[in-house]
Structure 1
Amino acid sequence: MSSEGFDTWILEVRGTFIYKAKQFKTNELAGLSKSNQTTAGQSQIKDLSLSLSPLPFLEMNEQLVPMMEDIQRQLNLFLDSEWDFDQLVKEDLPLVVDYIKTQCNPRDGKLLSIGHSMGGILLYAVLSLCGFEGRDSDFAAVTTLASTLDYSSSKSSLELLLPLTDPAEALNITSIPMGTIFAALHPLAYRAPFILSWLNSQISAQDMMLPELFDRLVLKNFCTIPAKLLLQLATAFESSGLRDRSGTFLYKDHLHKSNVPILAIAGDRDLICPPEAVYETVKVIPEKLITYKVFGEIGGPHYAHYDLVGGRFLQSSGIRVESLICEEFWTAIFGYAI
């Protein structure tokens, strides 16, 4: 989209490691001790690895050390994960949007936003809050990919995570290292004897994603999920869908009050957020404001959850998201894997 002339921003919500965050001076003193400990720990891991391995295995160590450093970052986050969905919606997003608007100075003061999976859920929630409070949002238009506020009537495979919520709450566990878990399970799903091959279809339909991209997605994309976030997202499986942390505010109930045009896209083979789940949210939006598309054909290609952002046939699927953008829109892209 940037090649089309649009300012394009990728929002990395707290807890992900797409790139290393810059430490600002205001945070340097507070984080100095922990930073030194982490750096020292990573150095010790590398030194120990090199001292224990003979020279022929040095090349292997060059691959092992970055992996160990990733695990170290995941462990640090495991101890610090104390946020929930409401904080992302009410604290993080407004700050990011204000910053982007300050940098880009859009002519109409608004952004066009695109959100995949929980990124789209965040956008729906923002529009709902704006509708409830009777104020305009900062968005000129919104596109959601594989997102919904209500899973209650669908057979989403995310239900497999629900059993984790009770012990997490009972044992006061701060977070669940899903990134580490997925990376550990990947060889069992993608290589012989394919014990967990059913996990592959959760991510991508057959022959829809390049093998190298699939590997990178599984090994790098998933992150540690705060228990508070998981507990709140679990309410999306209850009657009427996602609630705020108090349990009294139903996000879906106020989405119809928004005046922002929405393009909602689903994948025909999406097991995580099936088309029927997407439609549960779509149907409460005024008809004049919603465009609903399901990607996938009877004879193929088919689209699973991550094919909507990484499928090899996206450009020939009949819709280019860029074609929906007017010249005056500035672009902000919101994405978080869950």
Structure 2
Amino acid sequence: MPPLHGASLRILLAGAAVAHLSSSPVARASPCAPPAPLRLRAFASYSASEPPPPPPPPPPSSPSRVLASAGAACDCEPGAKPAICTADELHYAPVPGSDWRIALWRYRPPPEAPKRNHPLMLLSGVATNAVGFDLSPGASFARHMSMQGFDTWIVEVRGAGLSTRGSELAAASTKSDLSPNSELHPDDSLTTSIEEVADKILGLMEFPQTSAIYDQISQLSQRLVKILGEGQQNVSPRLFGWQERLSATIEDLQKQLELIISYDWDFDHYLEEDVPAAIDYIKQQSVTKDGKLLAIGHSMGGILLYAMISKCAFEGADPELAAIVTLASSVDYTTSNSSLKLLVPLADPAEMLRVPAIPLGTLLSSTYPISSRAPYILSLLRSQISAKDMMDPELLSKLILNNFCTVPAKVLLQLTTAFRDGGLRNRAGTFFFKEHLRKIKVPVLALAGDEDLICPPEAVYETVKLIPQHLVTYKVFGKPEGPHYAHYDLVGGRKALHEVYPCIIEFLSQHDEVSS
């Protein structure tokens, strides 16, 4: 069957709606009320809202930032934040040029804590949310930093944790206007569902995307048209069964199409839009004398910090960071034996874009229960995250079941460039971040874990050696006789409180002074 054009699709969908309307003489409970669209987030318990429109094209790169309006930000009132948020406050910062509002978890220092000159920003790894920095009252990296006097903020980039789109907030605010007993007219419901699917498919067809995306839309369209064609041949007694089948097909289409629409961003969106918006917002809420922040990044969070200071060094811009700490991070994995190298041969651009998003949280939470039982098929999962006996089993379970999110294929595709010659590069493949680290002026503390399979010490050092020696401090945690540190243990391992945290606090304290 040849690819379906937009005009043909609209005509067929409209015809199906008209045919249904003309052959439905009595009102009945509709089996095809608009289904709640699939919202693949770390916290699946939150109600979904109307699928958001496609994100606008990214703005041109610029060393300057657009200051987010404090009035436009949405600060949740005390008590309004969801139970999963264990911070003192939950804030939302608008991302200029998009309809995203990124979530920021704030931990205020107690009155008796030391006075600090800079707020502290925390960035987590790829496909993770804020939970990893605040697992429990006794295992909270963020809370510990606030107790040391730092006004601490965890940033959840777009698509992670509690971050949301403007349309989702608007839908949530209007949802309560509906009467709990109100029902959509069944015929209107079907018509609305069909029109929504048509608009989504047609909108996607207009995207300047690859042929792979168009192939997906064409295949989805053909499936719907096949059902519509069968329905037009049905006689009235069979119409109700056809309507149920059509409804199921539309629901399936809506879920797949929203996935394609929603998860359409890459690493550069985090770097050029989300993190700058977070920095601007934090500076508004926690004023500093020199307009700078301290920052800590774990895994991809550290990669973001490296990329930011590299890009600013190239542009001659101020990154507005007094000092940074990277935990298990690198922009060049080519010389290491990272376990992620096994995935690089699978990262063919055309094939990855056929799967717009990877539900990492769902995959991990579904496989984890069998990873610790015979026959131990998935025993490697635990060693990728934490070394033996370094985490309480309950906390490890909480981390795996609550900390991971769905990640766009485009993010993973761009991150795989860190495993190729030249290291991590921008989406266009024209800017190599490692090449400009020698020009940076920001002090760096780079920490590695001795048994980190994802980002081994040699990968961390591959980036460290590019930074001016007087600006960088490098340390590997773990001893031959133990304890050992895997990828997450630098943040939440049993020994981190007494071994890693003091090292970080000492470094941050040294660079918390304000230049006169």
| Shorter-chain TM band | 0.7 to 0.9
Give distance in 2, aligned partners of 1:188 and 1:79: 33
The equivalent residue for 2:74 is none
| Shift in alpha-carbon separation, 1:187–1:76, aligned structure 2, 3 A | farther
Q: How much has 1:182 moved relative to structure 2?
A: 1.1
C-alpha deviation, 1:190, in angstroms: 1.7
Once the two structures are TM-superposed, the CA of residue 322 in structure 1 deviates from its matched residue by: 1.6
Relative distance call for 1:74 and 1:182 in structure 2 (3 A) is farther
State the AA in 2 paired with 1:243: R
- Given the two structures, how large is their TM-score scaled by the length of structure 2? 0.53
Task: Tell me whether 1:206 sits opposite 2:388 in the alignment.
Answer: yes
Asked whether the equivalents of residues 152 and 237 of structure 1 are also in contact (C-alpha less than 8 Å), the reply is: yes
The answer on 1:95 being equivalent to 2:277 is yes
| 2:170 aligned with 1:28 | yes
Equivalences for 1:104-123 in 2 at 5 Å? 104-123=286-305
Match of 1:245 in 2: 427
Tell me which residue corresponds to 1:219: 401
Letter aligned with residue 205 of structure 1: A
Which residue number corresponds to residue 160 of structure 2? Answer: 16
1:6 to 128, 142, 150: 150
Given the alignment of the two structures, is residue 133 of structure 1 paired with residue 275 of structure 2, yes or no?
Answer: no
Residue in 2 that maps onto 1:179: 361
Cα drift, residue 325 of structure 1: 2.3
Query: How far is the alpha carbon of 1:259 from its aligned partner?
Result: 0.2
Cα deviations across residues 50-82 of structure 1 (Å, max 9, x unaligned)? xxxxxxxxxxxxxxxxxxxxxxx9996675110
Secondary structure, counterpart of 2:397 in structure 1: helix
Contact 1:143 1:264 in 2 (8 A): yes
Shift of 1:119: 0.2
Aligned-residue offset at 1:193:
2.8
Question: 1:287 & 1:259 partners in 2: Cα distance?
Answer: 11
> Which amino acid letter does the alignment assign opposite residue 458 of structure 2?
E
How far off is 1:131 after superposition?
0.4
TM-score, normalised to structure 1, is: 0.79
How many angstroms apart in 1 are the aligned matches of 2:397 and 2:257?
A: 22
Q: Structure 2: state its 5+ residue gaps.
A: 1-144, 179-254
| Partners of 1:123 and 1:167 in 2: CA distance | 25
Select the structure with the greater relative contact order (CA < 8 A; seq sep ≥ 6): 1
SS state at 2:306 partner: helix
**Match for 1:325: what amino acid?**
L
Structure 1 residues 22 and 180, CA gap change in structure 2 (3 angstroms): closer
TM-superposed deviation, 1:172: 2.5
2:351 aligned residue (169, 180, 183):
169
Q: CA deviation at 1:168?
A: 6.0
Other structure's SS at 2:347 match: helix
More helix by share: 1
Which runs of 5 or more residues in structure 1 are unaligned?
A: 37-72, 331-338
- Per-residue CA shift, 1:81-102, capped at 9, x if unaligned? 1000111101111111000011
**Corresponding residue SS for 2:322:** strand
Evaluate the alpha carbon distance shift between residue 329 and residue 169 of structure 1 in structure 2; reply closer, same or farther with a 3 A threshold: farther
Q: 1:127 to 1:199 in 2, by over 3 A?
A: same
* 2:322–2:511 CA contact under 8 A, matched in 1: no
Q: Distance in 1 between matches of 2:307 and 2:505?
A: 24
Deviation at 1:158, TM superposition (A): 1.1
1:167–1:124 Cα change, 3 Å: closer
Q: Among residues 303, 324, 327, which one is paired with 2:507 in the alignment?
A: 324
**CA separation in 2, counterparts of 1:282 and 1:328?**
19
Q: Matched residue pairs, number?
A: 291
Per the TM alignment, residue 194 of structure 1 is displaced from its structure 2 partner at its CA by 1.6
Return the offset for 1:160: 3.0
- Contact in 1 for aligned 2:360/2:407 (Cα 8 Å): yes
